[in-house]
Amino acid sequence: MNTILSIAAMNIKFVTPRGLLEAVHEVSLDIPVGSSVGIVGESGSGKTVLSRAAMGLLSGSTVRREGKVVFDGKELTTMTREQVRNEFGTGMAMIFQDPMTALNPVRRVGTQIAESLRIRLGMSKKAAVVRTIELLSLVQIPDPQAMLRKFPYQLSGGMRQRVMIAIAISCSPKLLFADEPTTALDVTVQSQILQLLSDLRRELKMSMVLVTHDLGVVAGNTDYVAVMYAGEIVEQAPTSELFANMKMPYTEALLKSIPTIHMQSGKRLAVIEGRLPDPTSRLQGCSFAPRCPYVQPKCTAEHPPLVNAGNDHLYRCWFPLGQTIARKQ
């Protein structure tokens, strides 16, 4: 199987006044060509950091990054910043969570889209405008001509997200990171955007990494899923395998916390009790242990390794779901 992106043994730490903060711990992940991979976790689980670090977008004196990232056969982690930058847009592109903050407020929509075309593809000004209009219609924006002169603050959330998608796909990237692309949007708009992304992915033959906290979003739109908790991958499997054969109590908990329209009114939505562990000090045992409803003494004593259950299904648990072991409720 060809991989477009391969992350190996990635560690990311931040220097803070309170000490080193470990955001991502020993993560390895392969994205097969043409596939769509979901990364799922609560906020703070390290999924956004992982996706940005994979692209090399985290910089600054406070970031410590270890590990290896290979994109399209090229090892990004050993390349210079300029070389990595050359992969952006044409190789990799990213859609951000909040289209309000991810579009430059002081620049016109048209300029922001055309910029990539001009800089990365070297298009002429005229050609860039033509292509921009094409892109805007591709992301189903009505009256793309008028859109060119607008500022982001003049658009609705859905429109902004479409603009951002247009920017991301403008140079026909091979791999698209979509970081919570629908979180900031209304529910009705969410499905439209997800549909649009799926269509575009098929049309443009892109691979995609879909970062989300919502297992429901992953369900219909991905081929593989990796679940992250406290900076680690705790479960990873093809999407159908995961939903069919869940191993991690955490994944189960995540699934239970999704509201569905079939839910009885008045019934309380399940929440995951407790909080994420303090990222400045890694626990000795399983990081989910303090919150796990099925916790055993071993869980707090030893850190579980990532185990392969077959069918490409990996998980990190001493006592996975579905095994006939007595659990205390």
From 187, 142, 134, 189, select the one nearest 161 (Cα to Cα): 189
Question: For residues 297-316, which are near another protein according to CB under 8 A?
Answer: none
> Does residue number 93 form part of the binding site for another protein (CB under 8 A)?
yes
Among 164, 226, 230, 234, binds another protein (CB under 8 A): 164
> Does residue number 102 form part of the binding site for another protein (CB under 8 A)?
yes
Q: Which among 49-57, 132-140, 286-294, 316-324 is the span making contact with another protein, rule CB under 8 A? A: 49-57
Among 2, 43, 75, 107, binds another protein (CB under 8 A): 107
Least Cβ distance, residue 116 to another protein (angstroms): 5
Residue 63 or residue 270: which is nearer to another protein going by CB? 63
> Does residue number 187 form part of the binding site for another protein (CB under 8 A)?
no
> Does residue number 213 form part of the binding site for another protein (CB under 8 A)?
no
> Does residue number 268 form part of the binding site for another protein (CB under 8 A)?
no
Pairing label, strands 175-179, 207-212: parallel
Residue 2 or residue 280: which is nearer to another protein going by CB? 280
Q: Which among 52-60, 193-201, 261-269, 313-321 is the span making contact with another protein, rule CB under 8 A? A: 52-60
Size of the site for another protein (CB under 8 A): 41
> Does residue number 149 form part of the binding site for another protein (CB under 8 A)?
no
> Does residue number 101 form part of the binding site for another protein (CB under 8 A)?
yes
Would you tell me which residues interact with another protein (CB under 8 A)?
17-19, 52, 55, 57, 60-62, 81-82, 85-90, 92-94, 96-98, 101-107, 115-116, 119-120, 151, 153, 164, 167-168, 171, 177
